[in-house]
Amino acid sequence: MPLKVVRDRFTSYSTEGRLYLDTFFQCFTLEPRRSREFGKPFCIPEGIYLYEVRRSQHFQRDVICIDLVPGFTSIEVHPGNFPKDTHGCTLVGITQGEDFIGHSEEAFDRLLQRIVPRGTIQYVNEG
Q: What is the pLDDT of residues 7-42, one digit of tens each?
A: 999 999 999 999 999 999 999 999 999 988 888 899
Amino acid of residue 24: F
**Could you tell me which CATH number the domain at 3-125 has?**
2.40.440
Q: What is the mean pLDDT of residues 84-106?
A: 96
**From the CB of residue 116, how many other CB atoms can be counted at a distance below 10 Å?**
12
What was the pLDDT predicted at 39? 81
Distance CA 46, CA 65 (A): 16
Percentage of residues in the chain with pLDDT exceeding 70? 100
| pLDDT value at residue 102 | 98
* CA gyration radius, the chain: 13
φ and ψ at 88, to 5 degrees? 90, 0
Mean pLDDT (the chain, rounded): 95
- The answer, yes or no, to whether residue 57 has pLDDT greater than 90, is no
Q: Locate the domains of the chain by residue range.
A: 3-125
pTM of the model: 0.95
Q: Is the pLDDT of residue 68 over 80?
A: yes
Q: What's the pLDDT at 1?
A: 76
70 contacts 57 by C-beta, under 8 angstroms? no
CA dist list (Å): 109 to 5, 12, 36, 57, 92? 17, 29, 31, 18, 10
CA-to-CA distance for 50 and 85, rounded, in angstroms? 22
